[in-house]
Amino acid sequence: MSRDSGKVMRRSIGIVFADGGLLTMSGTASADGEGHGEEPLFAVLCDPDGAPVVFEEALLSTEYGEDEVQRRATLELWLDMEDGRALRGAGTLISAVTAEADGLATTIAFFRWSVEGREGLGHYEIARTRG
């Protein structure tokens, strides 16, 4: 499957940190939108003992391998765009699988993550239309 073989319809990340915290990020492209990188992303961080924190802006950058599977990703999460400081993180591939159903080819990659020094494990899923 080629990254250019279909339009990216959905990207999502879920991370469970070693301290019990959770981070989720999700974005869905509109039917007439540009797709990958253009969809609005929604991100929420839940600390083990705190209320959920919703970010004002979330950015996700992805590096792909020769097999077009997501290999590395970086995150920038902005609580307040006026503040000028983002929460930053990165993830690297452990393993991945691709499945096709309902007109979408979905690659689910399992990642090792680090966000501001917090270590965690999670997934990075990309669903594309079949090309």
Spatial distance between the Cα atoms of 105 and 88, rounded to a whole number of angstroms = 29
Summarize the confidence of residues 91-117 as an average pLDDT. 95
- How high is the pLDDT of residue 5? 63
Domain containing 22 equals: 3-129
Query: How does pLDDT run across 42-64, given as a tens digit for each residue?
Result: 999 999 988 899 999 999 999 99
Distances (CA, A) of 55 to 23, 65, 77: 11, 29, 6
Query: Whole-prediction pTM value?
Result: 0.86
Domain count, the chain: 1
Domain containing 62 — which CATH number? 2.40.370.10
